[in-house]
């Protein structure tokens, strides 16, 4: 059993959304080992190639959409197909909601790649999978993540003051969300 995205590859001008391959492990390990990329993320560098391969394999080991599981979507260069980053999709246990997380290699920041990938994936989440609500939980200091989320019409729903003990200190967290009907409005506005 190999879990794959049920809709296949999705192409956008800035990135292709595809399933991870074993050959992505060096690139995945490379950007996850970058201290700036890992700053607000749950892992601490170095992120070895073995760990990257284990992550790729663990994602494949469960059927796509399994309740309370994470699926990792690869964001690849539209021409050369090398890995640019990834979006994590967490299928919440209720079956109607997802949580998202996103990571790009630092060389790809500030180019609109994350926004393009997120828009394409949210379309699948709401239109293809028919989910009701998508959320994202970020470190309140992560201004790039906040800008990305508000840019794709997520609303801030909460700011938890020192709500998480993270890498040795209490930090603020913000929760953002988008509902299915809000996404329809965003799609119509985008044409
Ligand atoms: C979060 C992350 C994916 C955002 O990527 P990105 O390259 O900035 O995304 P985009 O290029 O699509 O830009 C989205 C918007 O944020 C803006 N932005 C980029 N970096 C920024 C920064 N440091 N501060 C404020 N805004 C920023 C962009 O200009 C763009 O705004 P625009 O649409 O008005 O032009 C990237 O910073 C990253 O991988 N960070 C490390 C991993 C991480 O912390 N992930 C979040 C945890 S869930």
Q: Which tens digits make up the pLDDT trace of 53-67?
A: 999 999 989 999 999
Q: Whose CA is nearest to atom 25 of ligand 1?
A: 144
Q: Whose CA is nearest to atom 33 of ligand 1?
A: 151
CATH of domain 10-190: 3.40.630.30
Identify which has the larger pLDDT, 189 or 98.
Answer: 98
**By mean pLDDT, which of 54-63, 98-107, 159-168 is the weakest?**
54-63
Q: Specify the pLDDT at position 52.
A: 98
Q: Specify the pLDDT at position 82.
A: 98
User: Is the per-residue pLDDT at 120 higher than 80?
Assistant: yes
- CA–CA dist 168, 33 (Å, integer): 19
Residue boundaries of the structural domains of the chain: 10-190
Which percentage of the chain shows pLDDT scores above 70?
Answer: 99
Cβ–ligand 1 distance for 35 under 6 Å, the answer: no
pTM of the model: 0.94
Q: Specify the pLDDT at position 1.
A: 56
> How many angstroms is it from 124 CA to the middle of ligand 1?
21
Q: Which of 88, 98, 166 is nearest to 129 (CA)?
A: 98
Q: Which of 144, 177, 186 to mutate to test the pocket of ligand 1 (most atoms within 8 A of CB)?
A: 144
Q: Specify the pLDDT at position 2.
A: 67
> How many angstroms is it from 108 CA to the middle of ligand 1?
10
Owner of token pair 């049920």: 6
Cβ–ligand 1 distance for 126 under 6 Å, the answer: no
Cβ–ligand 1 distance for 142 under 6 Å, the answer: yes
What's the rounded mean pLDDT across residues 65-84? 97
Owner of token pair 């995945």: 28
Cβ–ligand 1 distance for 106 under 6 Å, the answer: no
């Amino acid at each position: 059993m190999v879990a794959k995205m049920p809709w296949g590859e999705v192409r956008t001008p800035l990135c292709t959304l595809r399933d991870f391959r074993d050959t992505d492990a060096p690139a995945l390990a490379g950007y996850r080992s970058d201290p700036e990329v890992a700053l607000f993320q749950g892992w601490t560098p170095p992120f070895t190639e073995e760990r990257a391969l284990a992550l790729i394999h663990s994602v494949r080991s469960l059927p796509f959409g399994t309740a309370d599981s994470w699926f990792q979507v690869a964001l690849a260069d539209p021409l050369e197909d090398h890995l640019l980053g990834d979006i994590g999709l967490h299928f919440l246990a209720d079956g109607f909601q997802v949580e998202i997380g996103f990571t790009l290699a630092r060389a790809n920041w500030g180019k609109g790649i994350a926004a393009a990938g997120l828009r394409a994936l949210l379309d699948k989440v709401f239109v293809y999978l028919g989910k009701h609500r998508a959320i994202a939980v970020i470190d309140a200091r992560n201004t790039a993540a906040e800008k990305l989320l508000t840019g794709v019409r997520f609303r801030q729903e909460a700011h938890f003051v020192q709500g998480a003990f993270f890498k040795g200190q209490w930090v603020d967290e913000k929760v953002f969300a988008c509902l299915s009907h809000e996404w329809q409005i965003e799609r119509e506005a985008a044409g």
